[in-house]
Amino acid sequence: MPKRTFQPRKRRRAKTHGFRVRMKTMRRGEFDAVYRAGKRRSSSHFTVFFRANELPQSRFGFSIKKALGGAVVRNRIRRRLREVVRCHRLEIHAGWDIVIHPKSSVARAEFAALTADLLRLLKSV
């Protein structure tokens, strides 16, 4: 019996479902530049590193240590931080590279407390 050469077409999922704004993220070298040449602010829940960039928008990076918990916990923290930044991106000054390091208290804190704390740090940038 001859080998079947027909391959069914792969269906491609639409890239976006409705209107969605993509948040600008950073790469490894850009993280290093922020650590090397940037400044730092801390609070009870976060340490934020920031450095000016020449772009019309701010870029964000999240660095979540394995010491904060397993993959499920770390991903939950990352999702919560992304949501804070997404909802309040108009209140955050443009033109900065920002790296956010959450502390261990973030996993148990209420979302409203995290939002207030992070926004206070980001507005001081």
Element (H, E) at 46: strand 46-52
* In the chain, where the domains are located: 28-123
Instruction: Judge contact between 98 and 60, C-beta under 8 A.
Output: yes
How far out from the chain centre does Cα 62 lie? Answer: 5
Q: How far is CA 107 from CA 45, 68, 91, in A?
A: 9, 8, 24
DSSP state of 88: T
Burial class (CB in 10 A: 0-12, 13-18, 19+), 116: middle
pLDDT tens for the chain, 125 residues: list them. Answer: 666 666 666 666 555 544 455 666 778 888 889 999 999 999 999 999 999 998 898 999 999 999 999 999 999 999 999 999 999 988 989 999 999 999 999 999 999 999 999 999 998 88
Classify domain 28-123 by CATH number: 3.30.230.10
Q: pTM higher than 0.85, yes or no?
A: no
